Amino acid sequence: MKPMRYFALMLTLLAVSAVAPAAEIQVAVAANFTAPMKEIAAAFEKETGHHIKAAYGATGKFYAQIQNGAPFEILLAADDIAPAKLIAEGNAVAGSQFTYAIGKLVLWSAQPNLVDDQGKVLETGNFKKIALANPKAAPYGAAAVALLTDLGLLKTLQPKFVTGENISQTHQFISTGNAELGFVALSQVMTDGKLTTGSAWVIPTNRYAPIRQDAVLLNSGKEDPAALALLNYLKSDAAQALIRKFGYDL
Amino acid sequence: MLLSADDLQAIWLTLRLAGIVTAILLVIGTPVAWWLAQTRSRWKGPISAVVALPLVLPPSVLGFYLLLALGPSGWIGQLTQSLGIGLLPFTFWGLVVASVFYSFPFMVQPVQNAFEALGERPLEVAATLRASPLDTFFTVALPLALPGFLTAGILTFAHTVGEFGVVLMIGGNIPEITRVVSVQIYDHVEAMEYADAHRLAAVMLIFSFLVLLALYVWQHRGQRRT
């Protein structure tokens, strides 16, 4: 490399690092968004040099932790309730809430031919256990209950319910075959617009209230330009294309 | 009433689980403890290590392996299916099996210590009086080791009541079947029902303290007497 060009490169690097010193951002992420978040984080880290430390789990648990001083700077929730509550209680920055993805519910089985594309399997009841996320705490669980109520099947299927602590555990119950089928997030069983394994019924979105997943800037991230950069990145075309690829609406 | 019907149900389920697990472990754990206390076999070390494993393993490891082993492609799962029992995860008996594994050392170790503390003398005396080994065990060893059994029983019961991780991983959180107190508290917290969580958590705290207090006061008295 010629000295002049080397010098220019150094100068550019210096300029970049002066504008945005590499920082670490702690993000609490809804379990259903694990797979897309990993790709988004990788792309974001490559672009900005910031490092993302993501914790994946149930939104209700994160809410309790944030209320009690957890050091997260951003919450990517599985609903729009927790972010709103955090703002109302003064734990998050007013005006920073926005919908980063709209979740889609899917009835999924690890077995190839169990679930038909109309969900008739729910009526035939040809299974012992059906898994869903805890409807009290997880929006995907609540959506599943709403759908079953709508189908008039809630009472008959309730004895077969097994509930996961969050949507990841629900997926785990089904993928290990301990529950033959269950309701999970489409993002968990889909990559590049295709079902990865098993059989599924992607439930029409007019059958349940939209699962708006909102992001919010928490108080500890208020002054952090890196956290703001990540929120902006989530709104970018590149990130949104990636989010759609995992089966979310926007 | 301070506690809801669901909470009371969870408490009753937890007590039932702990009671059954303690009873089963008394039956399974005693011969293992006796063997470990008596044996000079080179297998004593490995077997002791296996018995103690649940003390150091995180519940997530145990829960994960149990979920796989009890599941449709696991060896226990295939066994239970071929016996016509069906699959154990998400059932009360699944929790019993998991808790038996998880609480095993809490039963075996205190009983083994009690057997070892007997020494050889009482057993030799019994043998010279022509007592059969089985007779010796039931009429000499068991009564003398009774304090050890009491400690083991209380610890096993309390430890099963306090179980959380394994139950969460293989229980599926079903009311009246697998939703024990610890899971119910977690549920309350997740659903942001903090007042309910507080009430039930306080019950757990007081219960655990009283059990341990009773155990230590009683052990202390025993020591002063001897």
Residue at A14 is within a domain = no
Residue at A128 is within a domain = yes
For A176, the closest of B68, B86, B174 (CB atoms) is B68
**CA dihedral over A82, A83, A85, A90, signed as positive or negative:** positive
Picking from A25, A15, A18, the residue whose alpha carbon sits closest to that of residue A221 is A25
Amino acid at B223: Q
Label residue A8 by pLDDT band (50, 70, 90). Answer: low
Residue A129 and residue B90: Cβ atoms within 8 Å? yes
Q: How far is A202 from chain B (nearest CA, A)?
A: 23
pLDDT in tens, B5-15: 889 999 999 99
Query: Fold for domain B5-225?
Result: MetI-like fold (1.10.3720)
Residue at A11 is within a domain = no
Residue B90 and residue A64: Cβ atoms within 8 Å? no
A98 and A220: one domain?
yes
Residue at A15 is within a domain = no
Residue A169 and residue B169: Cβ atoms within 8 Å? yes
A87 and A164: one domain?
no
CB contacts of B90 in chain A (<8 Å) are: 129, 162, 173, 178-179
Q: How far is A58 from chain B (nearest CA, A)?
A: 8
pLDDT confidence of residue A218? 97
**Mean pLDDT of the A27-48 span:** 93
Mutation pick from B90, B183, B185 vs chain A, by most beta carbons of A within 10 Å, is B90
A42 and A84: one domain?
yes
Give CA torsion, residues B66, B69, B70, B74, to 10 deg.
160
Residue B191 and residue A137: Cβ atoms within 8 Å? yes
Q: How far is B176 from chain A (nearest CA, A)?
A: 11
Average pLDDT, chain B: 90
Is residue A32 a contact partner of residue A167, using CB atoms and an 8 Å limit? yes
Question: With pLDDT > 90 as the criterion, what percentage of chain A qualifies?
Answer: 69
Give the DSSP per-residue string, A117-182: TT-THHHHT--S-EEEE-TTT-HHHHHHHHHHHHHT-HHHHGGGEEEESSHHHHHHHHHTTSSSEE
CA pair distance A172, B123, nearest whole angstrom: 52
Residue at A13 is within a domain = no
CB contacts of A176 in chain B (<8 Å) are: 67-68, 71
| Residue B95 CB-density burial (10 A; 0-12 exposed, 13-18 middle, 19+ buried) | buried
Q: At what angle do helices B5-38 and B92-118 cross, to 10 degrees?
A: 40
Residue B71 and residue A177: Cβ atoms within 8 Å? yes
Q: In chain A, which residues touch B (CB < 8 A)?
A: 58, 60-61, 63-64, 85, 128-129, 131, 134, 136-137, 161-165, 169, 172-173, 176-179
Tokens of A203: 């439930």
**Mean pLDDT of the A111-140 span:** 91
Q: Does B164 touch chain A (CB under 8 A)?
A: no
Domain that holds residue A198: 105-202
Give the DSSP per-residue string, A75-128: EE-SSSHHHHHHHHTTSB-TT--EEEEEE-EEEEESSTTSS-TT-THHHHT--S
pLDDT in tens, B153-193: 999 999 999 999 999 888 888 888 899 999 999 888 877 78
Is residue A114 a contact partner of residue A199, using CB atoms and an 8 Å limit? yes
pLDDT in tens, A150-174: 999 999 999 999 999 889 899 999 9
Amino acid at B215: L
A147 and A69: one domain?
no
CB contacts of B4 in chain A (<8 Å) are: none
pLDDT confidence of residue B225? 61
Q: At what angle do helices B146-161 and B194-225 cross, to 10 degrees?
A: 170
The complex's ipTM works out to 0.72
Q: How far is A240 from chain B (nearest CA, A)?
A: 29
For chain A, what is the domain count?
Answer: 2
Is residue A62 a contact partner of residue A210, using CB atoms and an 8 Å limit? no
CA pair distance B29, B52, nearest whole angstrom: 12
Amino acid at A34: T
Q: Does B210 touch chain A (CB under 8 A)?
A: no
CB contacts of A85 in chain B (<8 Å) are: 192
CA pair distance B8, B200, nearest whole angstrom: 9
In this prediction the pTM is 0.78
A139: domain CATH number? 3.40.190.10
A46 and A126: one domain?
no
For B192, the closest of A63, A163, A176 (CB atoms) is A63
Q: Where are the alpha helices (DSSP H) in B57-91?
A: 59-70, 75-82
CA angle at residue B78 from B75 to B79, to 5 degrees?
85
Is residue A32 a contact partner of residue A187, using CB atoms and an 8 Å limit? yes
On the CB side of A9, CA atoms within 13 Å amount to 6
A96 and A115: one domain?
no
pLDDT in tens, A134-143: 998 888 999 9
Token look-up 């995860």 returns B89
**CA dihedral over A154, A160, A165, A168, signed as positive or negative:** negative
Q: At what angle do helices A225-234 and A237-245 cross, to 10 degrees?
A: 60
Residue at A250 is within a domain = no
- pLDDT of A3 > 90? The answer is no
CA pair distance A199, B18, nearest whole angstrom: 39
pLDDT in tens, B116-134: 998 888 888 888 888 888 8
Picking from B153, B53, B164, the residue whose alpha carbon sits closest to that of residue B107 is B153
